[in-house]
Amino acid sequence: MAGGWRGVLELTLLTCLLSTVISYTTPPILRDCTDFQTSGIFRDNNLRVQFLLFTPRNPTCAELIQINETLSTENSAFNASLETKVIIHGFRALGSKPSWIDDMVDSLLAAEAVNVVAVDWVCGATANYNQAVENVPRLSREVVALINHFLELGATEKSFHLVGVSLGAHVAGYVGQYFGGRIGRITGLDPAGYKFTHASPEERLDPSDAIFVEAVHTDTDTFGIRIPVGHVDYFVNGGRDQVGCPSIRKLYQYLICDHMRSVTMFITAMRGVCSYVGFPCASYWLFREGHCVECQSAPCPRIGKKYLQATPDVASSTIHPEDENTTTDIERELPDPDNNQELMYLLTTTDEPYCAHHILLEFNLLEQKENGITIEIQLISADIGTSKTKITVPKHTLEGRTLAAHRTPLCGVDMVTLRASSSWMSLRRRKEFSGTLCLAELPMSSRQEMICLPDVLSFFGGGHQTHNLAEIRSRHCQ
């Protein structure tokens, strides 16, 4: 009988243990999934807002958050101890759900355990751009109410990261301004330019709106803002005319490709596919000419990575560029938002995911020429692809420099082909010159990092040469 009671007791304890485990591992029963609203050019397009919550427990099924109903949030999968990402889309010409929303939610949840809230204001952002602009402060107040609701549940201001696309970037700015810049982070993806370029800092995104504000500029000549608006502003390919975008024959894609490149790059960065490194420089021209090759006193910032404010004594506690998939709360000391804004430039390749290694190319003439020299250079990596660029050595100078965006590191380049300019005028003048070619991958801190072809290269008219880099790589690459 004693053994029988012991068996019953063991069974009871086992049942309790299993119940406890199940309660911790089984997701809560979720309400019906909610999706974005749709609108149209002939509808009233009054502002109607939905807040759609995604978490590690419901990564594909959005829960509708009703900020006026506390129980709706308390019974949801929201976790106040986690960071909260708030995605805010921009203008919707046709009233459809943004095609990139699901990918962005997925990338944010894949990167770390967070709450993700997608702000649906498709109604109010469709057809009439001027009306959508007028709705920006109204929408901002509703997002403020959402954040206050989460703060009441135990979240902290610093735990919020607002990701705003186009008009949504300025919505994030208004929200951050309401909280006195105490929001942890704002990412503006090609913040809208029309109606905001000449606005005051109080009426658009600016560095005072969060502890850290970053902006990715990809369409500054059409839909995006051309002025810096963050602590760090990335101007991709100079901020305009993104490589790999279609021709005007594909009109819709042609119109939105540059603007949406910022979104594609951010999603790719969050998934850890690419590390988009920005290099500080005074202008895009100086950057392309190879005059900004260093990262100064700290690692260069990367799109999508955390850079929260640090004190000088801990600013050196940074991660290294090779730690691609890691982030820390303190990575880089920020500039004073009242005095400094850092302009960052970077190149991409023509094909998605647009990952690029920045290769510095330098050609040194043996003697100066009366006319400028132009050399077309092609970097070749077997089974990976090629990249093309040009070096110009101005007249009466000895050195020309440029940058190439290549899919592999320099140590993955197999061959380099050089072709002298072969215009009719250059052939007529029978332009002859000789010099040396050196290469380096950014960032670099000294000329000792450059790899130089061992032989002097001589050109006559439109000649070309191909050189194998295998032997050079064996000496310089680990």
pLDDT in tens, the chain (478 residues): 444 544 444 444 434 443 443 333 444 445 589 999 999 887 777 899 999 999 999 999 999 998 887 777 778 899 999 999 999 999 999 999 999 999 999 999 999 999 999 999 999 999 899 999 999 999 999 999 999 999 999 999 999 999 999 999 999 999 999 999 999 999 999 999 999 999 999 999 999 999 999 999 999 999 999 999 999 999 999 999 999 998 877 777 878 999 999 999 999 999 999 989 999 999 999 999 999 998 876 788 999 887 543 323 323 323 233 333 333 333 344 444 444 689 999 999 999 999 999 999 999 999 998 888 899 999 999 878 899 999 999 999 999 999 999 999 998 999 999 998 754 444 455 568 899 999 999 998 777 678 899 888 888 766 778 998 877 776 777 6
Active-site residue (options: 89, 149, 259, 357): 259
Domains and CATH numbers, the chain: 50-346 (3.40.50.1820), 357-476 (2.60.60.20)
Instruction: Kindly list the strands in the beta sheet with 385-393, ordered across the sheet, starting from the edge strand earlier in the chain.
Output: 385-393, 373-381, 415-420, 464-468
Collapse the DSSP code of 311 into the 3-class scheme (helix H, G, I; strand E, B; otherwise coil) and give the result.
coil
Instruction: Kindly list the strands in the beta sheet with 58-64, ordered across the sheet, starting from the edge strand earlier in the chain.
Output: 58-64, 50-55, 114-120, 83-88, 160-165, 185-189, 212-217, 232-236, 342-346, 279-280
pTM of the full predicted structure?
A: 0.86
Whether residue 272 contacts residue 111, with contact meaning beta carbons closer than 8 Å, is answered with yes
Would residue 209 show up in a list of annotated catalytic residues for this protein?
no
Would residue 464 show up in a list of annotated catalytic residues for this protein?
no
Active-site residue (options: 76, 107, 190, 217): 190
Would residue 259 show up in a list of annotated catalytic residues for this protein?
yes
Dist. CA 216–CA 209, nearest whole Å: 16
